[in-house]
Amino acid sequence: MLKLGVLGSGKGSNFRAIADAIARGELDAEVRIVISDVASAGILELARARGLRAEFVEPGRFKTKLEPEAELRVVELLQNAGVEWVVLAGYMRMIKPPLLAAFPRRIINIHPSLLPAFPGLEAWRQALAAGARETGCTVHYVDAGMDTGEVIAQRAVPVLPGDTPETLHARIQVAEHALYPDVLRTLPGAGVTGL
Ligand code: GRF
């Protein structure tokens, strides 16, 4: 069984998709802890409502990364919870060496584009602005760069005439909610293979 630690800053719909897949018996995994850098994040409420351990870690003075002490606290929480795989689900900060070193090739992220196209913030908006006819989502290993780690799997989504950033993001999120549990099923320890 996969022992997961989930990090998120937002509403937590990808976390919910993963937790639902576990609850339905479609994914042999257990969420050991959910951690957020945002005290009011929906992801923490969702986790608590499911009886899961949910922790807010005060991020400190930086906007794009955790203060080193905060990141060490995250590492400690993950390790004490027995986490083997760190799953980023709408986590809005860069991952730095202490966390990367504690979980080498064991941190994955979902990004709302077909990487390497449109890394960074609001990738769906970038795709619209570029006039792309297709975009999608990517699950990838996390490295020290921004959305640069090795790609594990992708799912394409069409850009439709009349799309707004909101309609496109919503379509991408539907694909994300299927892709993330599918990818987790293929990881070593999940007991099931094949996408
Ligand atoms: C998703 O679109 C994900 O790709 C991006 O942040 C968003 C998180 O949404 N990294 P949610 O919090 O899982 O609903």
14 C-alpha vs ligand 1 centroid, how far in Å? Answer: 6
Q: Using the 8-state DSSP alphabet, how is residue 40 labeled? A: T
Token representation of residue 124: 């769906």
In a domain, 180, yes or no: yes
- Residue 12, ligand 1, Cβ within 6 A: yes
Helix (H, G, I), strand (E, B) or coil at 160: coil
In a domain, 195, yes or no: no
In a domain, 189, yes or no: no
Number of structural domains (the chain) is: 1
179 C-alpha vs ligand 1 centroid, how far in Å? Answer: 12
- Residue 9, ligand 1, Cβ within 6 A: no
What residue's CA is closest to ligand 1, atom 10?
Answer: 90
- Residue 110, ligand 1, Cβ within 6 A: yes
- Tokens 């799953």: give the residue: 87
Token representation of residue 76: 């400690």
53 C-alpha vs ligand 1 centroid, how far in Å? Answer: 20
CA distance 95 to 125: 23
Atom of ligand 1 nearest to the CA of 112: 4
Structural domain including 175 reads 2-184
Is 177 among the catalytic positions?
Answer: no
- What pairing do the DSSP bridges indicate for beta strands 107-111 and 85-88? parallel
In a domain, 190, yes or no: no
In a domain, 163, yes or no: yes
Average pLDDT per 10 consecutive residues for the chain, totaling 195 residues: 98 98 97 98 98 98 95 98 98 96 97 98 98 98 96 98 98 98 90 47
Choosing from 111, 140, 169, 177, the catalytic residue is: 111
Q: What local confidence, expressed as pLDDT, does residue 195 receive?
A: 43
In a domain, 127, yes or no: yes
89 C-alpha vs ligand 1 centroid, how far in Å? Answer: 6
In a domain, 192, yes or no: no
What residue's CA is closest to ligand 1, atom 8?
Answer: 90
CA distance 103 to 7: 13
In a domain, 172, yes or no: yes
DSSP string, 49-98: HTT--EEE----S-SSB--HHHHHHHHHHHHHTT-SEEEESS--SB--HH
CATH number at residue 23: 3.40.50.170
